[in-house]
Amino acid sequence: MAEEQRIWRLHSRQYLGEISALCFLHLPPHLSSLPYLLAGSGSQVLLYDLKAGKMIQSFHVFDGIRVHGIACSLVDCREGSSSTTTVSYKIVVYGEKRVKIFNLRFELEAGPQTQQAVGVDLSLVHTLPRFSHWVLDVLFLEIKSYGSDLGECRQCLAVGCSNNAVCLFDLSSFSVILEIQSPDRCLLYSMRLWGNNLKTLRIASGTIYNEIIVWKVTSQTSLTEDHMRSSSLYSNSAGNQSLQYNAVHICTLSGHEGSIFRIMWSSDGSKLVSTSDDRSARIWTTYEEQYDSVSGNKVIGPVLFGHNARVWDCCISNSLIVTAGEDCTCRVWGLDGKQIQVIKEHIGRGIWRCLYDPNSSLLVTAGFDSAIKIHQLHASVSGMHKKHDGATDRFDGEGICTTCIPNSSEHVGLMDSKSEYVRCLRFKCEDTLYIATNHGYLYHARLSETGNVKWTELVRVSGEVPVICMDLLSKDPSEYSCGINDWIALGDGKGSMTIVGVNSDISSPEVSFTFTWTAGNERQLLGTYWCKSLGCRYVFTTDPRGLLKLWRLCDASFSACDDSGRTQNATLIAEFLSCYGTRIMCLDASLEEEVLVCGDLRGNLVLFALSKGLLLSMSAASTVKTSPLNYFKVAHGISSVSSISVFRLNCNQVEIRSTGADGCICYFEYGKDRKTFEFIGMKQVKELSSIQSVSTDDLANCNYAAGFSSTDFIIWNLITEAKVLRVPCGGWRRPHSYYLGDVPETKNCFAYVKDDIIHIHRNWILESEKEIFPQNLHLQFHGREMHALLFVYEDVLDQRNCNGGLLDKSSWIATGCEDGTVRLTRFIPGVENWLTSKLLGEHVGGSAVRSMCFVSKAHKISSDGHSLSGWRKEQSIVVNNHENPCLLISVGAKRVLTSWLLRSRSDEKEEKDFQECENGGKDQKSSVGLCPSMSFQWLSSDMPTKSSGTNRRNKIKGLPTSDVTSSNNDTKSKSVFPEKEEAGSKTCLGNKHEDDWRYLAVTAFLVKHEGSRLYVCFVVVACSDATVALRALVLPHRLWFDIAVLVPTSSPVLSLQHVVIPMHLPSEDKTKIGSMYIVISGATDGSIAFWDITKSVEAFFQWTSILHAEKFIDCQKRPRTGRGSQGGRQWKSLNRIVSEKGFGGNSATKKAGDEDDSKLLHATCGISTKLLDQESSMTDCPQAANGALIGMENINSSPEICEVRPIHVMKNVHQSGVNCLHVSEMDCQSSGYDFLFNVVSGGDDQALHCLRFCLSLLSRDLDSQIWYPERTKSTIETENTQKFTHYSQNQTHSYQIVFFNHHRITSAHSSAVKGIWTDGTWVFSTGLDQRIRCWCFEEHGQLTEHAHLIISVPEPEALDARACSRNHYQIAVAGRGMQMVEFSTT
């Protein structure tokens, strides 16, 4: 009875999606100089404190209606006790045909520097009646109360609707006091109201005819009451007078060639700005006396061209105009129509809203990607109409100065070969530069607060030859030795190295020592590098051929102190020769991990061993020549590697981060035990074409990226996705240097050389003096619609969480988007906002992600495919999760299939923090941020090559043919997967239309090969050409194989699910004899089919038992997405090899001791010459999905893909497509069957369908070879039962499947059902009606609805749920945004 009395409820949580409305809350000037911000997102209103840069609170204002606009009016401001101030506002929120009026009241408490909100309350005052047309704008007005001798005014609300009418409401009684229709009756796309009262009220209406109608409301005295009654207009009696209001046309503004999306009035009503579908904005002057209201003259205003897509929003101030468009740019214009500034920091479908506050110069932009960006425009932008060409984006307090080297004044006129110019420059700190010239001089330049530069000549290299390279090592004050704090290494054109020790912390810098030695041949010394981890005793030099030399310097600081005059020298202790013979551009080393990593000019990474004994040994032994320990080819494509950082992950793993001229930040992992060098992941900074370095607190979390975009130097905030600084400088080829402080928004320096002038941009402001802008107030998310969503979790992480806290209820959600991106987002109950969202990667070519699945369990199988003696039913058949790889698989357009591997381990610092959390050393609030960061590494991507035909993948011969029949190899179909013969012509996939097909659904399971490290992930994918294929990903070799095709499928499959069923002999010990693998599919014709793929899986494992993994070369090491490193000339050359030789390629790694390059056809393809000889003798050689040939003598040369027939098809389950499908296992103890499953589905017919199927093993009399069922009677059979028996031809096992309890809810939703989930007890569904409905399984499998909720996600596409506890569920819905809903008992 207690269970029946429970009340289950749905609780709506935060929506993460597009921002559709913005409004400033201006505080009284004595309280704050910055306003608060209200933002509408979905059905919620978010309140932000711009001073603190954080969200204060969110409020749910509508049910399923998106907030379109917000208006506010200050009501009261009262000083309270204890330094508190109470501020009240009247807030109007409108969306679609609804308008609600609220009171917003919050208390401000005086803080150290500003007022802080300590209490916020939003209370509903009134809901206006539903309008017959959409509401486009609202405006507060003051109207004089007629008949009042004192002339009192009352506050009213004007509401403009899409039928070009305005309604006026009295806010004291909420009654309609005026309703007036424009004389030009037409439908509108936009409307904007302006004025303080009825007399000054002006209405600008953007019509569907691409025109703007400007009109006003006027009054006239009516003498007779009969005339007042006969008028259709509103009349208000006051004594003997009555006022009649009518609409007066002012003018019609024509010129736009598209729909008018937004109109904004200037503060004085003299101008208005309009934006349109024609990608332009226009400025109009609206002085009323200029127009003839009768003739309706058409006026054409200035045009603002610059956007390359539709312009959604605009705002205007006294000095500038701001527009925001679909091209994700926000553009600032002068009133003369000249473009001043372009801001591009959003992604996706565009910027919906922009808002500008002239008092604080704050510009707010928000759009589809959920981000709210705050910028502070410089006074030169916000206070003047125009800006000189070539001006720089600057902050308040930034200093810009120019200077020249001292000797440049001696030369007059154009520069020639004898002129002195800058070759290298380096920032030491914000006010100190070191400059080296072509005449061999080294200068010290100190910048003053006034912009003056004090020059000091330090040294001149011997021979007066030009300085080719320079590097600077600055020590911390605690590391100073004998006053030496700067170590400068200079390499000149004669091949000599010069080390200079400088004491620069005094008013006049002094040279403590200098010494020179020959480090290479003339014109062969191209680079010199310090390594901070090795200190000042070691320096590296490089030459053009990839030779890296390590020099040990004598104790120069000691010698300089004793002033004994001893000759300083350097000893060559090691040479490192790159296997690529290309110049080394950057390096980093870890003395503790004894590893050295180098990056070269062609994007390759080379890893060397760097032993402590080599560094610490003082013996004068011969130079040690070191070969590469491992390497990674084309890590950044053909683009140069610009920086490398090495980070200790744990005792056996080292993580490496590299940046390059391809605009990518790449992460790699080096395993010391197995000597593996693997690609982990990468981040593309699309705003930068070349990344020079990243600024970060640790290696895993990058905060800022500095680099170039075309000719501009840019500092980019990787957390807020905002531009910090932009300086036009001519590009990266000119000598340049930069220095970033702890807060780069307010502390940054950049210097570059143009001609003979050094331009220095310095912005160094204390944090207490200025707020940090730009800011990102709201989490940036996908910029387009999402089609796939699922919870990602692992038992290992759950067990480590602090019991009873927030951590055990936190969730990670993976989402796939229309733009091809896959993100991982974290939700924590009780936290006001979503915690974090990070980009995992992007599909090749940005192809849309249509479906995803997560594989967290691995099932064991023996080498012969089925017999596993000694296994018990009571024992888990799942591999230990600590060793089990967890995979995330996504599929989508262009038949792209991408897999990621879960990296569940955390570094040693996180382990220590977790121990403190568990021991109570840290509070619960701080421990939320210490949860081990769940992250994935890219594993493999697969897609058909454009030049390939039908035989471009691995194909396996010899699979069984009971219900698996062999397909014809000579078929003329060009599809990747063989199709049934009768429909081959309809679904033929030719090269011409190759990209038209897309994957629609995916499901996968993982199987462990007993006795080996081999894992196989079996992936079932459904394609839009009505094919369903079984594929295999062999791990750890990352090789793809086509195994079977599921036929016949007359219609495309929209949803897939699978079940893995362990099979045991009917004896007491329950010996396991294998597993059954059943796939369930739902198609567009409304049918649900069941497929047994067990024989194909077992046959593949029999084939892998003779697979020689060493014959494969792991050639797919890096995703081919993005630009430069993934789509440059290197990849094009590989594609030519694909078409000519019949195989493709990608980047490759190679361990030391493997075959040299002479024995490989191409390093990136990894094909041995010996294997190519075998290929020539084969008719159709099996080949790897990405190009690695298989050299196996035991495999026949004629591989085949097999066909699997369905074991049962249920037709007409839905009247149209089966959009979603989910299956769950139930307790079968009382059923009389071995296994019991629930299958629920939802379709376009708005219906839900549920059924149950049972499976029981049939035993066999070994003497008579007769099969008989173990149980002859079921305790749950009903009249609605379909029963049949399926037998296998190999006679290893047979089973019986019973389908029963078919239940259908015809109108479960009022629109198409898009997502469904069940755990056998509850069913959660969602549809295009924006509802989540919760159903409970009753007796005989019937569904009863218990609760429903209207969600904020428009057009839901996917649903997933997670059982947090017995009485608590988390439900996530994705579409145009994402929302979390919790379902629990009260």
pLDDT at 342 over 60: yes
**pLDDT category of residue 1369 using cuts at 50, 70 and 90:** very high
The pLDDT tens digits of the residues spanning 1346-1364 come to 999 999 999 999 999 999 8
The residue among 1114, 1104, 1102, 1171 whose CA lies nearest residue 1142 is 1171
Tokens of 401: 């100065």
**pLDDT category of residue 158 using cuts at 50, 70 and 90:** very high
Mean pLDDT lowest among 251-265, 327-341, 810-824, 901-915: 901-915
Q: Which residue has 């509802």 as its token pair?
A: 1331
The pLDDT tens digits of the residues spanning 307-325 come to 999 999 999 998 899 999 9
Q: Which residue has 């899986």 as its token pair?
A: 1097
The pLDDT tens digits of the residues spanning 1321-1345 come to 999 999 999 999 999 988 777 899 9
Mean pLDDT lowest among 481-485, 1036-1040, 1354-1358: 481-485
The pLDDT tens digits of the residues spanning 1059-1075 come to 998 876 555 555 556 78
Taking CA atoms, 1010 is separated from 886, 1016, 1101, in Å, by 18, 11, 10
Alpha helices for 186-237 (secondary structure H): 225-230
Of the chain, the percentage scoring pLDDT greater than 70 comes to 72
Average pLDDT of the chain to the nearest whole number: 78
pLDDT at 1259 over 90: no
Comparing 1125 with 674, the larger pLDDT belongs to 674
pLDDT at 1264 over 70: no
Contact 1029, 1044 (CB under 8 A): yes
- Residue 1232 has a pLDDT of 61
- Which helix (H) or strand (E) segment holds residue 1103: the answer is helix 1094-1104
> Position 893: which residue type?
A
Q: What is the mean pLDDT of residues 598-616?
A: 92
Mean pLDDT lowest among 718-722, 902-906, 991-995: 991-995
pLDDT at 1157 over 80: no
- Residue 808 has a pLDDT of 54
Comparing 873 with 1107, the larger pLDDT belongs to 1107
Tokens of 650: 């744990």
Q: Which residue has 């954080």 as its token pair?
A: 54
What does the alpha-carbon distance between residue 68 and residue 417 come to, in Å, rounded to a whole number?
Answer: 65
Tokens of 501: 């020790």
What does the alpha-carbon distance between residue 425 and residue 435 come to, in Å, rounded to a whole number?
Answer: 4
Q: What is the mean pLDDT of residues 910-928?
A: 41
The pLDDT tens digits of the residues spanning 434-455 come to 999 999 999 999 998 888 899 9
The pLDDT tens digits of the residues spanning 232-244 come to 344 343 333 346 7
Tokens of 1126: 């993934």
Comparing 442 with 27, the larger pLDDT belongs to 442
Tokens of 547: 């030779």
Q: Which residues contact 294 (CB under 8 A, 6 or more apart)?
A: none
Alpha helices for 1261-1308 (secondary structure H): none
pLDDT at 978 over 50: no
Highest mean pLDDT among 376-385, 827-836, 1153-1162: 827-836
> Position 279: which residue type?
R
| Phi and psi angles of residue 1170, each rounded to the nearest 5 degrees, phi first | -60, -40
Bridge-based pairing of strands 1266-1269 and 1282-1287 is unpaired
Q: What is the mean pLDDT of residues 787-803?
A: 64
- Residue 1064 has a pLDDT of 62
- Exposed/middle/buried for 830, CB within 10 Å: 0-12, 13-18, 19+? exposed
What does the alpha-carbon distance between residue 353 and residue 373 come to, in Å, rounded to a whole number?
Answer: 11
Q: How far is CA 1277 from the centre of its chain?
A: 50
- Residue 988 has a pLDDT of 39
pLDDT at 228 over 90: no
Tokens of 518: 């020959």
What does the alpha-carbon distance between residue 1096 and residue 1235 come to, in Å, rounded to a whole number?
Answer: 22
pLDDT at 918 over 60: no
**pLDDT category of residue 59 using cuts at 50, 70 and 90:** very high
> Position 297: which residue type?
N
- Residue 696 has a pLDDT of 72
- Residue 613 has a pLDDT of 86
What does the alpha-carbon distance between residue 203 and residue 360 come to, in Å, rounded to a whole number?
Answer: 28
- Residue 324 has a pLDDT of 97
**pLDDT category of residue 732 using cuts at 50, 70 and 90:** confident
What does the alpha-carbon distance between residue 853 and residue 1003 come to, in Å, rounded to a whole number?
Answer: 6
What does the alpha-carbon distance between residue 604 and residue 637 come to, in Å, rounded to a whole number?
Answer: 8
